Amino acid sequence: MKKIIENDFSRIDLNLLTVFLVLYREGSVTSAAEVLHLGQPAVSGALKRLRKMFNDPLFVRSARGMLPTPRADALMTHVQPLMENLHGVMFGAQEFSPATAKHTFRIGMSDWSEHWLMPGLLPDIAEEAPGVGLHVIAADPFQVRRLLEEDAVDIAVSLNKPSTGEIVSQPVMKMEMTTLWSPQQIPHKGPLSINDFIAYEHLMVSYRESNHSEIDRQLLSQGLQRRVRYVTPNFSTFPLMLKAMPVFATVPQGLARRWQQHFDLRSSVTPVAYPAFTLCIMRHKRRAQDPALNWMMARLVQAMQRF
């Protein structure tokens, strides 16, 4: 690519190029003035500046009107497509065509969100947009804002995150927690009472290495406690552990439903006052008008609302 010489381009007025295109097409100063809604003196003045800029008469008078010079013909060949492309870039609507797009979206989410959403979402994406790939990046609620700020992910699914600074958070839905167990390990049909709940050990997810959660605080307020046998930052091993041991796991309701489609697990409303949480989709403000990301966001919302 040739080096752009700023001093040369500083002499160019795009309005003059517009006048040039209309003069070339109309072949008359009078007609060009009418098309451009300008006075004839203004068009004549623009033509004078064009002649000086290109060091060429550009148009000469004849019985058939203003005839272009060879220099004007050469300019028209190159300037018209450039101006059409520039118009499209500046004023054309941005579009994203899923059927033909070649794109990979980096989606930040926790492992439970991936278990819940991706088995339904990925086949839909593959059918609608065969050239689109998804790259899931682990993002617990304490990491997601930083990952968006650092442009490590394009979009994220997270919990209870208000919009702050440059990060926009759109609430999508609320979800409850559900307690799961294997009927082969715990012979209880449900629903669970609070005494049932504390009678067995528990599996627990903690993103900050704590072995206490809101459930434990609620139990403590009633003078009760449970024993947490296993703490992990991931949900993925829970179905196998539930099948192997007499333990409870309290997980988001969407994840519980997904697991119950594939594992012989029973469920119950958690018998502890545990507030519903809000699921949000988050992205950076600078991507607000990105048509590709808007399409991906709509597909995520659609997948979440199928719950």
- Check whether 303 has a pLDDT greater than 80: yes
Average pLDDT over all residues of the chain: 89
Q: Which amino acid is at 191?
A: P
DSSP 164: B
- Mean pLDDT on 67-94: 79
Look-up of token digits 């403590």 = 220
CA dihedral 279, 276, 245, 221 (to 10 degrees): 140
Structure tokens at 181: 């167990």
Of 106, 155, 154, 102, which Cα lies nearest the Cα of 130? 102
Lowest mean pLDDT, pick from 9-23, 113-127, 284-298 = 9-23
| Residue-level pLDDT at 1 | 45
Q: List the beta bridge partners of residue 173.
A: 279
3-state SS assignment for residue 29: helix
Q: Are 252 and 205 in contact (CB under 8 A)?
A: no
CA distance linking residue 24 with residue 136, whole number of Å: 54
Distance in Å from the first CA to the final CA of the chain: 52
Beta bridge partners of 105: 134
| Token code pair at residue 211 | 């072995």
Describe the crossing of helices 291-305 and 111-128 by its angle, rounded to 10 degrees: 120
Residue with token string 């440059």: 166
Q: Are strands 65-68 and 59-62 parallel, antiparallel or unpaired?
A: antiparallel
Q: Say whether pLDDT at 93 is over 60.
A: no
Rounded to 5 degrees, φ, ψ at 128 are -80, -35
Residue 2 has pLDDT above 70, yes or no: no
Residue 176 has pLDDT above 70, yes or no: yes
Per-residue pLDDT, averaged over 280-296, amounts to 92
% helix / strand / coil in the chain, to the nearest 5? 45, 25, 35
Angle between the N-to-C axes of helices 14-26 and 29-36, in degrees from 0 to 180, rounded to the nearest 10: 130
Choose the weakest-confidence range: 30-39, 76-85, 181-190, 247-256: 76-85
pLDDT band per the 50, 70, 90 thresholds, residue 190:
confident
Q: In the numeric block, which tokens belong to residue 224?
A: 């009760």
User: Which residues neighbour 266 within 8 Å (Cβ) at sequence distance 6 or greater?
Assistant: 180, 181, 182, 183, 188, 189, 190
User: Would you state the torsion angle of the CA atoms of residues 54, 60, 65, 71, taken in this order, to the nearest 10 degrees?
Assistant: -40
* Helices 40-54 and 29-36: angle between axes, nearest 10 degrees: 110
278 and 159 Cβ atoms separated by less than 8 Å = yes
Sheet of 177-181, strand order = 228-232, 201-205, 247-252, 177-181, 266-269
Question: Which secondary structure element, helix H or strand E, spans residue 279, and what is its range?
Answer: strand 277-284
